[in-house]
């Protein structure tokens, strides 16, 4: 082969690689679990999307919420799965196309929990008490929604003491062991095996709950072409229609995906505005938990 021919082959190969890179997509998943566990859960979904879209879909995992949020802010993901609050914060650049269904349910309420023997029957009785929230100040179900209940009942910052647990289950466990007088978390939290195996959940009760809030969203970049966006949405919401898709759902630990759009998260937006202000941004670095 002549030098000229070899050069031409190299240029054609390079051009092919460039086209492949241009048509590949990145799927980002928020670090609800470790990077290894996230990879195990969502690699089958990336492979399924790759096969049916006819282009590579690469799964991107993050070690922590800061690095994940940085990638979202820089629009490094074409498809992204994150929590409701993150969706609201990134709505300028990302469009919701679906939501997860968990345990056969589309939505779950945020709640305030107390011990049954506490004598607390009204939110107003939490004035001056310690309330523990699981996961961080940006968690939709474990911090924002329960705090919304407190504010709607007339309490304000300084009327109660705030403690943070490392995770939502830990908040309920701490409440059970009387490390706080109340705890914030999703209404399904008390039924999780990790909680039931650690404490006698019969000793706890829900004091108050919000309206049901749609589960975790899936979104795509707003710059994604409409035809491609439609194809991604159809594939996601029809995963339960064939055996391969059902295996993808099982790996991701969800019972299904359903169509959704930005306005379906308006109830969440109203709560964020009440708790965090019109900007919907906490007064510190973002560290979101589920």
Complete domains list, the chain, with CATH: 3-105+215-276 (3.40.190.10), 110-210 (3.40.190.10)
- Helix, strand or coil, per DSSP, at residue 265: helix
The per-residue pLDDT for range 236-269, each reduced to its tens digit, is: 999 999 999 999 999 999 999 999 999 999 999 9
**What is the distance between the alpha carbons of residues 124 and 31, in angstroms, rounded to a whole number?**
35
In this structure, how many other beta carbons lie within 10 angstroms of the beta carbon of residue 188?
16
The per-residue pLDDT for range 209-221, each reduced to its tens digit, is: 999 999 999 999 9
The per-residue pLDDT for range 137-165, each reduced to its tens digit, is: 878 999 999 999 999 999 999 999 999 99
Does residue 4 carry a pLDDT above 50? no
Nearest to 287 by CA among 117, 63, 101: 63
- Helix, strand or coil, per DSSP, at residue 218: strand
Does residue 17 carry a pLDDT above 60? no
Which range of 10-14, 73-77, 101-105 scores highest in mean pLDDT? It is 73-77
Does residue 64 carry a pLDDT above 50? yes
**Radius of gyration of the chain from its Cα atoms, rounded to whole angstroms:** 22
Joined together, the tokens standing for residue 194 give 């990790």
Cβ–Cβ under 8 Å, residues 26 and 76:
yes
Residues in the chain: 290
Averaged over 104-133, what is the pLDDT? 96
For the chain, what percent of residues have pLDDT higher than 70?
88
- Confidence at residue 278, expressed as pLDDT on a 0 to 100 scale: 57
DSSP-derived secondary structure for 133-146: EES-TT-IIIIIHH
The per-residue pLDDT for range 162-186, each reduced to its tens digit, is: 999 988 999 999 999 999 999 999 9
| pLDDT bracket for residue 16 (50, 70, 90) | very low
Residue 214: phi and psi, rounded to 5, are -55, 140
Averaged over 115-140, what is the pLDDT? 93
Does residue 225 carry a pLDDT above 90? yes
Its pTM stands at: 0.80
- Confidence at residue 119, expressed as pLDDT on a 0 to 100 scale: 97
């Amino acid at each position: 082969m002549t030098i000229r021919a070899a050069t031409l082959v190299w240029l054609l190969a390079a051009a092919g690689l460039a086209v492949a890179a241009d048509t590949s997509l990145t799927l980002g998943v928020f670090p609800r679990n470790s990077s290894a566990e996230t990879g195990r859960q969502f690699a089958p979904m990336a492979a399924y999307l790759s096969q049916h879209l006819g282009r590579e879909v690469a799964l991107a995992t993050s070690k922590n919420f800061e690095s994940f949020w940085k990638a979202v802010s820089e629009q490094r993901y074409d498809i992204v799965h994150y929590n409701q609050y993150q969706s609201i914060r990134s709505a300028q650049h990302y469009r919701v196309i679906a939501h997860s269904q968990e345990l056969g349910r589309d939505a779950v309420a945020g709640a305030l929990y107390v011990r049954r023997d506490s004598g607390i029957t009204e939110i107003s009785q939490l004035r001056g008490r310690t309330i523990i929230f699981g996961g961080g100040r940006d968690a939709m179900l474990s911090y924002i929604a329960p705090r919304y209940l407190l504010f709607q009942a007339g309490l304000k910052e300084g009327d109660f003491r705030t403690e943070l647990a490392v995770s939502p289950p830990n908040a309920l466990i701490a409440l059970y062991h009387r490390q706080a007088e109340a705890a914030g978390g999703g209404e399904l939290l008390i039924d999780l095996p990790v909680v039931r195996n650690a404490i006698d959940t019969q000793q706890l009760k829900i004091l108050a709950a919000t309206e049901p809030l749609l589960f975790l969203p899936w979104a795509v970049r707003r710059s994604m072409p409409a035809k491609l966006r439609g194809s991604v949405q159809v594939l996601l919401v029809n995963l339960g229609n064939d055996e391969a898709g059902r295996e993808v759902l099982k790996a991701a630990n969800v019972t299904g995906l359903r169509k959704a759009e930005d306005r379906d998260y308006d109830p969440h937006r109203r709560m964020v505005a009440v708790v965090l202000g019109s900007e919907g941004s906490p007064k510190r670095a973002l560290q979101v938990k589920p």
